[in-house]
Amino acid sequence: MDGFRMPVRQTYLCLLILGTAFWGISFAFTKVGVADGSPFVFLGYKFALATLVLCVIFFRRLKLINKETLLAGVAIGLPLCLGNIFQTVG
């Protein structure tokens, strides 16, 4: 026996539960984060930190970005950004 191996379906179920838990916990952090300040400042820090972390992780892939990739990213990111703004303000 070469060790315990969880079936793929159970692995995906565990990841789904974990993702849902993080998503639910984030509401409490958002409430604390915007309690004494502007939701836009909170979101600015949140997105700046996420950008920094992702730039470090995917540094080599950043060199491959062209105009087409950038436009696709904006098209995908703009609705996501608006959704975050509306959810945080609401």
Q: Would 2 be classed as within a structural domain?
A: no
- Greater confidence (75 vs 38) lies with 75
Task: State the pLDDT at residue 3.
Answer: 65
pLDDT for residue 87 is more than 70: yes
User: Six-digit token pair at 61?
Assistant: 């892939």
> Can you give the residue range of the structural domain that contains 55?
8-89
In a domain, 1, yes or no: no
Residue 74 has pLDDT above 60, yes or no: yes
User: Using one digit for the tens of pLDDT, what is the confidence trace for 8-62?
Assistant: 889 999 999 999 999 889 888 888 888 888 889 988 998 899 999 999 999 888 8
SS3 labels along 22-59: HHHHHHHHHHHHHHCCCHHHHHHHHHHHHHHHHHHHCH
Tell me the pTM. 0.65
3-state secondary structure of 16: helix
Domain count, the chain: 1
72: in domain: yes
